[in-house]
């Protein structure tokens, strides 16, 4: 892909010289069969050949050389550049004119064709790269592809991607190839800054050691879409990643001093690459911003639901306690011991509810703050369920039937968390189911499926996803009171363990809450 102007010149010259010398030698051998004018005709294809093989320059050169060779070898007096016959002058100059014109035409055609081929190749390459890059959903993967491709295409020594940090200061985000030292990074960073600010490509004469010349002859700053120029020997380039709204960062490509400088073609390609990267980075940034603002809106909505739900949940039992206690303290009534006991036990119930609400809030905030990391160990599902069940009153426990087989695979989970999830699901089922509740488990390829079934009114399909949201209560009438957090906590816990939770409809009535937990690979051997 890479070729310097000097090389192109040398190549054109070599092609022209070689074709003319060889042709002349051939013509010399068959000179006795050639008339005076034949040589001119024969040299024309040579010019065309040179132009098509070496381009316009080679065409020009071949025309000039043929002119000289014809004159020297085939026009009398032979062996001199002297022309006696004035008619030969005419032939010679007509030849020069026609030869040059043909050389130019052929060269141009050939160059256009080569250019078209190159463009096609570039387009194909860009297409492949764009497909590859647009499929990257995260910035690190995109940066890796971008830098490695730039490194490969430019035959570069090092490439680096500068992206703005939180304070909008450009920093090296990723790099490929040789690692530059700190001082070098700092100077590159300041050039990248300038490149982004002025929206200009900055060319550097060498990949290292030349940066101190900024502001003098170097760097070459041109409007960045016209960066490529034949004249400049550029071995380092900083391209702003210009998107529709702003500059997303900068791409640095540096070629080793012993290698060829960056050719216009490579430069053009790098420019295309940087446009592409800019567009993808912009898309990624906008997506992240959209997700963030969506998260903020959701957090806002939750916060207001939270405040109203929490104050409701905490204030209801509190007001009831306060009313009962103040009533007892009023002093205008002589309370009989059995009535007093009744009032006190109602206070006890309110306190239990208050404690439960606070417990749920504490659990959820610990889970959400990441302050309740699962401490995994190997347990059997049954022992967890046994402990969870021990927290229910014996009256409730009599309503719970079990379908837990003996040979379940062992789990590797946080005991407390799974017990809490089960407890919440069972509490929920008991709340809604006037009759019994059934808890069961079964092994299901590589995981354990656990369910809690009730015979309650069931959950209408639109609510089935939402009931796991915080504070969401069923839309059906006669919904019993609860914190609206139990299921959300269960879902968080199951998610922490890499499982999924869902709710299904049961026939003829009721719901079935199902969650699965992955089993450790060697789960077959139980702990017993």
Q: What gap in Å lies between CA 297 and CA 304, rounded to an integer? A: 11
Size of interface with another protein, in residues (CB under 8 A) = 36
406 binds another protein (CB under 8 A): yes
414 with 492: CB under 8 angstroms? no
Q: Residues 125, 351, 412, 514: which binds another protein (CB under 8 A)?
A: 351
438 with 403: CB under 8 angstroms? yes
What 8-state DSSP symbol labels residue 30? T
Q: How many Cα neighbours within 13 Å face the side chain of 71?
A: 23
Residue 494 CB coordination number (10 Å): 23
In the complex with another protein, the residue whose CB is nearer, 5 or 359, is 359
Helix (H, G, I), strand (E, B) or coil at 454: strand
- The pair phi, psi for residue 275, each rounded to 5°, is -60, -45
Q: DSSP readout, 418-434?
A: HHHHHHHHHHHHHHH-S
402 binds another protein (CB under 8 A): yes
Tell the smallest beta-carbon distance from residue 443 to another protein (Å).
Answer: 12
- Applying CB under 8 A, the span of 86-94, 177-185, 285-293, 410-418 interacting with another protein comes to 410-418
329 binds another protein (CB under 8 A): no
Token representation of residue 154: 């430019």
Token representation of residue 235: 């071995």
Tell the smallest beta-carbon distance from residue 346 to another protein (Å).
Answer: 15
Listed in sequence order, the residues at least 6 apart from 359 whose beta carbon sits closer than 8 Å to its beta carbon are: none
In the complex with another protein, the residue whose CB is nearer, 282 or 363, is 363
Per DSSP bridges, beta strands 247-254 and 220-223 are unpaired
Tell the smallest beta-carbon distance from residue 325 to another protein (Å).
Answer: 15
Tell the smallest beta-carbon distance from residue 383 to another protein (Å).
Answer: 4
| H or E segment and range at residue 247 | strand 247-254
Tell the smallest beta-carbon distance from residue 305 to another protein (Å).
Answer: 23
In the complex with another protein, the residue whose CB is nearer, 50 or 410, is 410
191 with 160: CB under 8 angstroms? no
Q: Residues 34, 404, 431, 443: which binds another protein (CB under 8 A)?
A: 404
Q: What gap in Å lies between CA 64 and CA 55, rounded to an integer? A: 14
525 binds another protein (CB under 8 A): no
Tell the smallest beta-carbon distance from residue 408 to another protein (Å).
Answer: 7
355 binds another protein (CB under 8 A): yes
Token representation of residue 515: 């969650």
396 with 430: CB under 8 angstroms? yes
CA-based radius of gyration for the chain: 42
Sites for another protein among residues 366-385 (CB under 8 A) = 366, 372, 375, 377, 379-385
Tell the smallest beta-carbon distance from residue 369 to another protein (Å).
Answer: 11
332 binds another protein (CB under 8 A): no
Tell the smallest beta-carbon distance from residue 355 to another protein (Å).
Answer: 6
314 binds another protein (CB under 8 A): no
Q: Give the bridge partners for 450, in sequence order.
A: 441, 515
Tell the smallest beta-carbon distance from residue 437 to another protein (Å).
Answer: 14
Residue 143 CB coordination number (10 Å): 24
- Applying CB under 8 A, the span of 39-47, 96-104, 108-116, 355-363 interacting with another protein comes to 355-363
Q: Residues 140, 209, 405, 434: which binds another protein (CB under 8 A)?
A: 405
- Cα separations in angstroms, 128 against 2, 125, 149: 20, 5, 11
244 binds another protein (CB under 8 A): no
Place of tokens 């079964």: 442
Per DSSP bridges, beta strands 158-164 and 377-379 are unpaired
Q: Residues 129, 238, 408, 411: which binds another protein (CB under 8 A)?
A: 408
Tell the smallest beta-carbon distance from residue 462 to another protein (Å).
Answer: 34
Q: What gap in Å lies between CA 435 and CA 429, rounded to an integer? A: 10
In the complex with another protein, the residue whose CB is nearer, 190 or 526, is 526
- Applying CB under 8 A, the span of 215-223, 228-236, 398-406, 462-470 interacting with another protein comes to 398-406
In the complex with another protein, the residue whose CB is nearer, 269 or 415, is 415
Tell the smallest beta-carbon distance from residue 502 to another protein (Å).
Answer: 23
Q: Where on the chain is the footprint of another protein (CB under 8 A)?
A: 348, 351, 355, 359, 362-363, 366, 372, 375, 377, 379-387, 389-394, 402, 404-406, 408, 414-416, 526-528
């Amino acid at each position: 892909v890479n070729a310097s102007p000097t090389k192109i010149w040398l190549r054109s010259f070599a092609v022209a010289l070689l074709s003319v010398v060889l042709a002349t030698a051939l013509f010399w051998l068959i000179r006795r069969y050639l008339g005076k004018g034949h040589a001119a005709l024969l040299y024309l294809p040579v010019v065309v050949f040179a132009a098509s093989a070496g381009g316009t320059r080679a065409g020009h050169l071949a025309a000039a050389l043929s002119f000289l060779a014809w004159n020297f070898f085939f026009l009398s007096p032979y062996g001199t550049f002297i022309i006696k016959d004035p008619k030969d002058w005419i032939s010679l100059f007509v030849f020069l004119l026609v030869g040059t014109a043909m050389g130019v035409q052929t060269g141009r055609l050939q160059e256009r064709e080569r250019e078209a081929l190159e463009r096609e190749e570039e387009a194909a390459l860009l297409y492949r790269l764009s497909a590859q890059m647009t499929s990257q959903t995260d910035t690190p993967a995109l940066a890796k592809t971008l830098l490695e491709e730039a490194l490969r295409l430019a035959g570069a020594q090092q490439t680096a991607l500068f992206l703005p940090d939180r304070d909008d200061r450009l920093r090296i985000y990723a790099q490929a190839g040789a690692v530059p030292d700190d001082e070098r990074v700092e100077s590159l960073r300041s050039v990248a800054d300038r490149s982004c600010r002025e929206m200009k490509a900055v060319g550097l004469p060498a990949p290292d050691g030349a940066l101190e010349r900024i502001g003098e002859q170097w760097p070459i700053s041109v409007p960045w879409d016209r960066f490529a120029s034949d004249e400049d020997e550029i071995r380092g380039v900083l391209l702003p990643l210009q998107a529709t709204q702003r500059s997303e960062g900068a791409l640095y490509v540096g070629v080793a001093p012993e290698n060829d400088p960056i050719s216009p073609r490579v430069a053009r390609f790098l420019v295309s690459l940087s446009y592409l990267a800019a567009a993808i980075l912009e898309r990624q940034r906008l997506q992240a911003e959209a997700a963030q603002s969506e998260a903020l809106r959701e957090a806002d909505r939750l916060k207001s639901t939270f405040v109203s739900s929490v104050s409701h949940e905490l204030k209801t039992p509190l007001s009831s306690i306060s009313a009962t206690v103040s009533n007892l303290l009023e002093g205008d009534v002589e309370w009989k011991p059995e009535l007093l006991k009744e009032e006190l036990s109602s206070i006890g119930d309110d306190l239990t509810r208050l404690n439960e609400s606070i417990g749920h809030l504490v659990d959820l905030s610990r889970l959400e703050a990441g302050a309740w990391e699962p401490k995994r160990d190997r347990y059997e599902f049954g022992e967890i369920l046994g402990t969870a069940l021990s927290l229910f009153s014996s009256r409730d426990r009599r309503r719970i039937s079990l379908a837990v087989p003996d040979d379940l695979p062992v789990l590797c989970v946080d005991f407390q968390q799974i017990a809490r999830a089960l407890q919440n699901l069972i509490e929920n089922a008991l709340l809604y189911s006037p009759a019994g509740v059934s808890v069961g488990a079964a092994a299901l390829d590589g995981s354990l499926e656990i369910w809690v079934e009730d015979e309650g009114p069931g959950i209408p399909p639109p609510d089935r996803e939402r009931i796991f949201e915080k504070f969401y209560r069923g839309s059906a009438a006669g919904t019993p009171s609860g914190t609206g957090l139990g299921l959300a906590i269960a879902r968080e816990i199951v998610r922490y363990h890499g499982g999924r939770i869902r709710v299904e409809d049961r026939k003829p009535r009721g719901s079935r809450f199902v969650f699965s937990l992955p089993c450790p690979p060697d789960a077959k051997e139980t702990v017993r």
